[in-house]
Amino acid sequence: MANNLLKVALAQISPVWGNKTKTLEKIEQTINEAATHKTELTVFGEALLPGYPFWVSLTNGAQFDSRMQKELHAHYARNAVVIEKGDLDMVRKLAKAHRMAIYLGIIERPLDRGGHSLYCSLVYVDADGDIRSVHRKLQPTYEERLTWSPGDGHGLQTHPLKQFTVGGLNCWENWMPLPRATLYGMGENLHVAVWPGSDYNTRDITRFIAREGRSFVISVSATMTVEDFPKDTPHLDKIFNEAPKTLANGGSCIAGPDGEWILEPQVDKQGIIYQTLDFNRVFEERQNFDASGHYSRPDVTKLYVNRERQKTVWDQDRKNASR
């Protein structure tokens, strides 16, 4: 395929909720299927591995010192992803084997923050199978804060992919002007927005970012119904008491650099959606507006970004402690 063309796959699938092993198997099957279509970039939804914390808003998640909430959170934490222990090694292996870049939304339990707290993270794996960025969601939204921790700017990165420069944000981060501006300033022209699953979220912001950034925007959502909760989920009866049959209806879509739909939000459908993007469209739309280029005024407004990975213990502290 010509270097200005990029074959992308939007993986609008459901997790096997709260089960890291089985959800990983489903992700790996999806990657292999996408490879048969010569896909060069595959994107999965927010928190797909091992799933979005739907229980929090359905079971009075703010109740303090609740045994049920503690047990649900513990189950979720046990099935979170520890990258340092190799949980994504097979995803990396498949990316390399198929020469495919991958964006994957995970619940991360990172060792550099002690190995217990959870972060909603967006992982970019390149076509060599290397993890190039892990972006921890800067600000969990509303009830998400009861189970997810706030992230940092370390993962606000862009990556070369053929003629494109790709970057990504989690869910409502896409409404935050300064993180968007950070990616624009790093040359982003293919923006990836990942969501737990709702056309309510994707319908407006996808076209807005495309028009503002004069970039392609891929929004990818998961799907989720009550059937996607395994029967061994703790307190499943309590979750089902309040859960609608459909918890996430998808809504994956693509907008072009003119802000118009290439693919309108896809609702209540599960599967892989394919599309080929032409980089030349970026140059066409940047002719009259470029937010970080000829239509910017860095002499008037500047943006400073702290990309330091936040940690509780630093190497220097350990050296001092040992003296």
- DSSP calls for 207-224: HHHHHHHTSEEEEEE-EE
Range of the domain at 22: 5-321
Q: Rounded to whole angstroms, how far apart are CA atoms 319 and 323?
A: 7
Task: With a cut of 80, say whether residue 318 has pLDDT above it.
Answer: no
User: Confidence band (pLDDT; 50, 70, 90) for 313?
Assistant: confident
With a pLDDT cut of 70, the percent of the chain lying above it is 98
Report the chain's terminal Cα–Cα distance, integer Å: 59
Q: For residue 156, what are its two tokens? A: 């606000």
Q: Are 138 and 152 in contact (CB under 8 A)?
A: yes
Q: For the segment 23-62, what is each residue's pLDDT rounded down to a tens digit?
A: 999 999 999 999 999 999 999 999 999 999 999 999 999 9
User: Confidence band (pLDDT; 50, 70, 90) for 123?
Assistant: very high
Using left for φ > 0, alpha for ψ between -120 and 50, and beta otherwise, residue 65 falls in left
Task: With a cut of 70, say whether residue 317 has pLDDT above it.
Answer: no
Q: For the segment 160-173, what is each residue's pLDDT rounded down to a tens digit?
A: 999 999 999 999 99
Q: How far is CA 17 from CA 49, 88, 230, 249, in A?
A: 8, 17, 7, 15
User: Confidence band (pLDDT; 50, 70, 90) for 312?
Assistant: confident
Q: In 3D, which of 12, 17, 16, 46 has the Cα closest to residue 30?
A: 12
Q: What pLDDT is stored for residue 156 in this prediction?
A: 97
User: Confidence band (pLDDT; 50, 70, 90) for 1?
Assistant: confident
Beta partners for residue 164, in sequence order: 161
In the chain, how many domains are there?
Answer: 1
Strand ranges, E, within the chain: 5-12, 41-44, 101-108, 119-125, 131-136, 158-161, 164-170, 190-195, 216-221, 223-225, 246-255, 261-267, 271-278
Q: Which residue has the tokens 């409502």?
A: 172
Q: Rounded to whole angstroms, how far apart are CA atoms 258 and 255?
A: 8
Task: With a cut of 70, say whether residue 188 has pLDDT above it.
Answer: yes
Q: What pLDDT is stored for residue 314 in this prediction?
A: 81
Q: What is the CATH classification number for the domain harbouring 49? A: 3.60.110.10
Alpha carbon 242 to chain centroid distance? 27
Task: With a cut of 70, say whether residue 179 has pLDDT above it.
Answer: yes
Q: For the segment 249-290, what is each residue's pLDDT rounded down to a tens digit?
A: 999 999 999 999 999 999 999 999 999 999 999 999 999 999
- HSE-up of residue 161 (Cα within 13 Å, Cβ side): 33
Q: Rounded to whole angstroms, how far apart are CA atoms 6 and 278?
A: 7
Mean of the pLDDT values across residues 115-125?
A: 98
Q: For residue 206, what are its two tokens? A: 């996808």
Question: Rounded to the nearest 5°, which phi and psi values hold at 192?
Answer: -110, 120
Q: What pLDDT is stored for residue 319 in this prediction?
A: 52
pTM: 0.95
Mean of the pLDDT values across residues 93-100?
A: 98
Using CB atoms within 10 Å of the CB of residue 214, give its burial: 0 to 12 exposed, 13 to 18 middle, 19+ buried: buried
User: Confidence band (pLDDT; 50, 70, 90) for 315?
Assistant: confident
Using CB atoms within 10 Å of the CB of residue 290, give its burial: 0 to 12 exposed, 13 to 18 middle, 19+ buried: middle
- DSSP calls for 254-323: EE-TTS-EEEEEEES--EEEEEEEETHHHHHHHTT--TTTTT--TTT-------PPP-SS-HHHHHHHT-
Beta partners for residue 102, in sequence order: 42, 125
